[in-house]
Amino acid sequence: MRILIDMNLSPEWASLFERAGIHALHWSAVGDPRATDKLIMDWARAEDYVVFTHDLDFGALLATTRAQGPSVIQVRAQDIMVSSLGPRLLMVLRQYESILRRGALVTIDETKLRVHILPFA
């Protein structure tokens, strides 16, 4: 699995993923920091990356377009620090890796987790 970290999350996340054996790139290393969400989604789909974001617009894009990918992991938490959310996120990635490879929207916060298989009905 390969993770594309959105601009609204720290590049520090890439180190956490790499230490866990997961290839990760921060969008700032790939494209224009002012790129639209659609452009980021198109790039992730073409390059086979899962988008990791703190932006709810990515889930809305998947819903309105009924796209089958890319998979998106969206964080809905106030504390988005690697030290706080990192261990839980790595556990979720391991548990749902096969679903993320097929196409899913995973929403995670401090206490809950929701998984929606793509495309939305």
Q: How many domains does the chain have?
A: 1
Query: Is the separation of the CB atoms in 109 and 88 below 8 Å?
Result: no
pLDDT single digits (tens) 38-88 = 999 999 999 999 999 999 899 989 988 888 999 999 999 989 999 999 999
Termini Cα distance of the chain:
25
Q: What is the CATH number of the domain that holds 11?
A: 3.40.50
Contacts of 97 (CB under 8 A, 6+ apart): 1
| 44 touches 118 (CB < 8 A) | no
Which candidate, 52, 44, 43, places its Cα nearest to that of 13? 52
User: What's the pLDDT tens digit per position in 94-112?
Assistant: 999 999 999 999 999 878 9
Look at residue 85 in the predicted model and tell me its pLDDT. 92
Would the pLDDT of 121 be above 80? no
- Among candidates 113, 120, 84, which has minimal Cα distance to 96? 113
pTM of the prediction? 0.95
Look up the domain containing 75 and give its range: 2-117
